[in-house]
Structure 1
């Protein structure tokens, strides 16, 4: 089994940090974000990795090379322009011929990936999506009304919860047939197309083991967390 890591995004929400470094190479503790991902994949017994690269790709290729230093085998799939998540995945098609894991390169994961893979196979899924139980508080008073407009309740700053996509999938190689070549294409479009074609799409829900690095605020928070961990060693 191979893991495909999407590491070609521009990281525009993280500028100026990403002006000279691709987002997956931003430091967390003593190593870049992408190395944390590769370590996690290896701990889950997957040692064949495809890195989908584009923006400032030489920085990634020069650092990781063939992966032997980290105990893995790394191949590279190259895009010459931004292709969004699924479009970037499409560049790895020639390197995949079996069930595989697809991971966004802008998060840190620490959950049981092997359990997710086993569930995918047991359910004979076409795609399995990892979802995170996310809770947030609405900062306003939420007013409930009837169909006629009569106010029935006032809920002040209620907490709501939802399962959110965190960018880790187990997929069958036939998924590439849903992705057009060499055009920007989102993973949400792939999932919607799979559902429309009655493909088996299942979820794997986690409560923890996920850190998003989507913008400057979340990166600063994660960076501080990893610094504090180093201080405790």
Structure 2
């Protein structure tokens, strides 16, 4: 059984975080996002994973290598030009010879993929998609399903009366090789807006499987920040791979205020009087006297100077927040950003 992770997009919605870091390597609780996906696929019994890449593929290959450290076979396919979700599936056609589970590379989930596979086999589907329920489907593509679990329609970013349910496409698909015949070569083609309408028109066996486990699509800085907060709240499982386990390194100084939820990577320096609450601190960070960090994510090498305040924000690699500066909720600083003393943002 094979799976494909579609991880080739440019991730423009996450800029500036993705200028130097491809989305699959965005840290969630100091683990790369893609490790969570690989972990869930392995738990579902997947033995071979194809990674469809485009943006900075070498950085991803350097971390995952051939997959032997995970007890898996990993293969890489690099697109010279991104061709959309279905287009990436078509480009990997020479590697597809059986039922394949396809996963969008921006999905963080506790979903049991084996449940989708089981539904697909029992119903003898040509396509089975995972769906989930959200409070507001207007930012997603709503899926219409009949009482027998057949997909009967899609409504992209529904508005007004078009909002008839809160069931959305979860970005997980089980596909038979036969669907490749309806995907053109060498031009952008997407599952959601191109392939699926064709399949509905042809009335192929097309099913949906609702899942209730944790699910989050990481396409904007807010959703990235929230995924880290969810990790701290133990809503997301730690990837279970030998050699990739990270220990928490909280400061031992009793003059530092740290809550139980916060995580610290190695070689951080936290000075007396600092406060860290519900935050993820990357390696080699320095937080000085009187500084406060709350509900934030600091990537490696950040420096928070004396009496600075950071709340509800994301700081890329090597950022510096000057003495007495105030960084309020919603700020996203790219790598090596620097605020001088007593700034407010």
Describe how 1:9-24 pairs up with structure 2 within 5 A: 9-24=9-24
Given that residues 40 and 112 in structure 2 are in contact (C-alpha distance below 8 angstroms), is that contact kept between their aligned partners in structure 1?
no
Q: Larger relative CO (CA 8 A, sep 6+): 1 or 2?
A: 1
What residue is the counterpart of 1:87 in the other structure? Answer: 87
Q: Secondary structure at the match of 2:76?
A: strand
Counterparts of 1:172 and 1:220, CA distance in 2: 35
Given that residues 127 and 207 in structure 2 are in contact (C-alpha distance below 8 angstroms), is that contact kept between their aligned partners in structure 1?
yes
- The size of the alignment, in residue pairs, is 213
* Structure 1 position 211 matched with structure 2 position 211: no
Go from structure 1 to structure 2 and tell me whether the alpha carbon gap of 1:203 and 1:23 turns closer, same or farther (over 3 Å shift).
Answer: same
1:92-132 residue CA offsets vs partner (Å, 9 max, x unmatched): 11101000100001011212211210110111100001011
2:176 to 172, 179, 187: 172
Given that residues 137 and 166 in structure 2 are in contact (C-alpha distance below 8 angstroms), is that contact kept between their aligned partners in structure 1?
no
Gaps of 5+ in 2: 139-162, 235-247, 249-259, 264-345
Given that residues 137 and 167 in structure 2 are in contact (C-alpha distance below 8 angstroms), is that contact kept between their aligned partners in structure 1?
no
Q: CA deviation at 1:209?
A: 2.2
Query: How does the TM-score come out when normalised to structure 2?
Result: 0.59
Q: CA deviation at 1:191?
A: 0.8
Gaps of 5+ in 1: 139-158
Q: Secondary structure at the match of 2:86?
A: helix
Describe how 1:53-202 pairs up with structure 2 within 5 A: 53-136=53-136, 161-188=165-192, 189-202=194-207
Q: CA deviation at 1:84?
A: 1.4
Q: CA deviation at 1:225?
A: 2.3
1:169-200 residue CA offsets vs partner (Å, 9 max, x unmatched): 11101111111112111112111111111111
Given that residues 98 and 176 in structure 2 are in contact (C-alpha distance below 8 angstroms), is that contact kept between their aligned partners in structure 1?
yes
Given that residues 129 and 169 in structure 1 are in contact (C-alpha distance below 8 angstroms), is that contact kept between their aligned partners in structure 2?
yes
1:226 to 203, 228, 231: 231
- Structure with higher Rg: it is 2
